Amino acid sequence: MKRLVCIVVVFYAALVLASFSLAGAEGKDLVTERCSACHSTERVCRNLGQKDKAAWAATVGRMVSKGAALDANQQTLVIDYLSTLAPGSAPVCK
C-alpha cells in the first residue's frame, strides 16, 4: 500500500512538472508564431522588461482586437510568458 501511494505521488509530481514546462513552451511558441504575423518579434523584444503584467495584458488585448489569433487561454499563456521574460531573451529577441 505504501508503495502504491509513493508511485501515485511521484506520478503526480511528474505530471505537475510536465504541465509547467509545457505552459512555458506554449507561451514561447505562441509568441514566435502568432506575434510575428503583422510585425517582427523585434517589436515585442523592445518591450521586454519595460511592460509589467498589466501592461502586457493591455497590449495583447489590443493585438487581439487587431486580429491576433489567440483564444482567452492562449492570451493568458502569452501574457505570463512575456511578463517574466528578461530583456534580450531568445527566441523573441534574435
* DSSP string for 23-47: HHHHHHHHHHHHTTSSS-THHHHTT
Piece of 8-16, 21-29, 34-42, 83-91 that binds ligand HEC (CB under 6 A): 34-42
Question: What is the footprint of ligand HEC within residues 61-80 (CB under 6 A)?
Answer: 62-63, 66-68, 70, 78
Dihedral (C-alpha) 17, 48, 50, 66: value to the nearest 10 degrees? -100
At which residue does the C-alpha cell 511558441 appear?
29
Q: How far is the CB of 67 from ligand HEC (least distance, A)?
A: 3
Residues found near ligand HEC in the complex (CB under 6 A):
34-35, 37-39, 43-44, 47, 59-60, 62-63, 66-68, 70, 78
